[in-house]
Each structure stands twice: as structure tokens, then as C-alpha cells.
Amino acid sequence: MNAPEDPSPTGAFDRAEVIRILPGLSDGELPFHGHDRVKEHLMRETARSTQATTVNTPLYRRPLTRILVAGAAVCAVVLAVTLGVGRSGKHATAAPPEPAAVRLLDRVALAAQAVPAPTVRDGQFLYTKTLGHSTSLSETAGGGMEAAPTDESAERWVSVDGTAGTLTRGARGSRTDPAPGKDKAGLGEPTYRFLETLPTDPDRLLAAIYADTRLNHGVGSGSTTGPDQEAFVAIGDLLRTVEAPPGVGAALYRAAGRIPGVVLVPRATDAAGRTGIAVARVHNGERTEWIFDQDGLRLLGERTVLLKDSVWGKAGTPVTSVAIVARGVTDRAGQVPTG
């Protein structure tokens, strides 16, 4: 497993470098000495826990992707929502997004909007190659639990219009998931044509995402994550799974900048060993990070890092990590783009 890194929200990073990447920031806006807010989040999460996490199966693997339940019409949304579930069943209010994180996401959105849209036709496939790992828990002979990395590197072909199945080739072989169909693609099974239908206004787009996460992870749902964390994860999944049209991609980044609890991580390393700057959200002692290239602000990958020791590993351990290393368009599933 990768060596643990600095589990603080910022790590060791040059202040001038971040100011160079995010012009217009004042030195006081950078969260280098602002660890207290994250510590307070972790203390609240720890206080809410009534017992340590238990695993009831001999083998458990942390997924790299969480799937949203499709449905729920777009509705008006109040953005000051939640983080975690308390003993009372109500979600606690999260801190506002950090100004430095919002500024970075706005810069990333501008960069995404400037990239030409891919030229695609119905019947083609969007290709994505990733490197990465998740973490598995195995039961030992003595009844304890042992964490070990599981290779999640894969090549994936997603039907542009949803009429063909999704082919995935990975370390455990190949599989083809059923086609969602032109009219059934959604947040959980996105296609390029579906993404083209999403609003490019970040508030309307976030409302659509929150309509789902409030329904399935809001108060009374029994969810332990809450709609804020699920919205952040859902946007990350969309950005990583299928290359979005430039306007929609930009709106997704700006929508993420409206989610409470979003913070800046000035240094992070993806599964391919590339170092960049990240936007993240802390939940239940873990930090989910989106890592961006420092120069072009291109999305490099995503990872989840432990902020405290647990059965999954030591603080600073990336328990899931995925790096996007290639993207393109092909005429058939299984074909690798050239050039």
C-alpha cells in the first residue's frame, strides 16, 4: 500500500506556489494554519460514533465509485445542508466552503470550458484508462481484520448514446454491463448524450444533484453520509467516469464550489505518482480529494485519505486512489484510441 502522507488538510507546501496558481488570493485566505475547522469536524464525527466500525463478512472492498439512485425531479434547494448523521437522526450543519477552494474550482471551470468538446457520434464509445487501487479487508486466522490494496486499474468504454453496454477491462478480467438505453441513462449511469442534457447553470445543476442526495441521504433516510458528502462524491464520479461536454464540466466544478465543507489541499499525489493541487471534503475521518494538474488545472484523479488510524490503515493512508491516464473516442468497444 502507498506510504502514508501528511494527513493535515494542507500538508507541507509552499505558500507562494499556491498564490501563483490562484492569483488574487490573499495570504490570509490560505488554510495553512486553519487546521482547527477540520479537527472540529473530526471531533464531531468521533462524538457521534457509538461504537467502532465492524465488518460482518470475511472480505470487504471499498468501492472506487458510489452509484446514485436515479430519479427525483429537479427542485429548489437550500445549499446550507449537512455533514454526517447525529444520534438524534438529524444532520449537523457543515462549515461554508473555503474561499481558496472556491477560487480554485472557478479556475478549473474556466480551464474545462476552454477545452474543445470531443467530436462524437451515436454508436461510438468514450474511452477512459485509469490506474488505481481500493482497499480490501480480509479476516485473519485469529479473527482480526487485515487491510490490503486491490488493483482497480482498468480500461472502460462507455456508449455515447447508451445503446450499447459498457465494457470494462481490469485486473480481474473483462465484463460488459447492460446498456442503459437512450432514455434511461442518468446520474448513476451517465452517457455523453445524457450529460449534454444537464443544465450549465451551476445552481440548477446542483439542485438536480441535491434532489437525489436529499431523497436518498437526507434526514430520516438512515444514511450516515448525508446529502452534502453524497453530492460531492456524485460530482466526482461524473467527472471521472465520462468526459463531460465543456459547459457541463465547468458547471459541475462551480456547483462543487457551493457545497458546504469543501476545502483546499495544496499538495496531493495521484495513483500514477503525479503531484498536484486538490479540492477535498472531510467526512467521518476521511478526506475525499480531487487532484488537479498545477499548470493546466486538468483533473488528474481522485483519492480518499484516512485522517485518523482505523481498521483500514494508518492516518495519511490513501485507501482508494484512481488516476486518469488516457481518454478518447473509439468506434467500437475494446478499441484503443490512436494518437
User: In this predicted model, what pLDDT tens digit does every residue of 91-128 receive, in sequence order?
Assistant: 557 899 999 999 999 999 999 999 999 999 999 999 99
Q: Would 224 be classed as within a structural domain?
A: yes
Distance linking the first and last C-alpha atoms of the chain: 33
Residue 76 has pLDDT above 50, yes or no: no
Q: What is the largest CA-CA distance in the chain?
A: 57
Q: Would 187 be classed as within a structural domain?
A: yes
> Where does residue 222 rank: exposed (0-12), middle (13-18), buried (19+ CB within 10 A)?
exposed
Confidence grade of residue 220 (pLDDT, cut at 50, 70, 90): confident
Domain count, the chain: 1
Q: Would 57 be classed as within a structural domain?
A: no
> What domain range is 186 assigned to?
15-49+66-330
Q: Would 227 be classed as within a structural domain?
A: yes
Q: Would 54 be classed as within a structural domain?
A: no
Q: Would 60 be classed as within a structural domain?
A: no
Residue 8 has pLDDT above 90, yes or no: no
pLDDT in tens, 230-252: 999 999 999 998 999 999 999 99
pLDDT in tens, 113-170: 999 999 999 999 999 999 999 999 998 888 888 999 999 999 999 999 999 999 999 9
Q: Would 113 be classed as within a structural domain?
A: yes
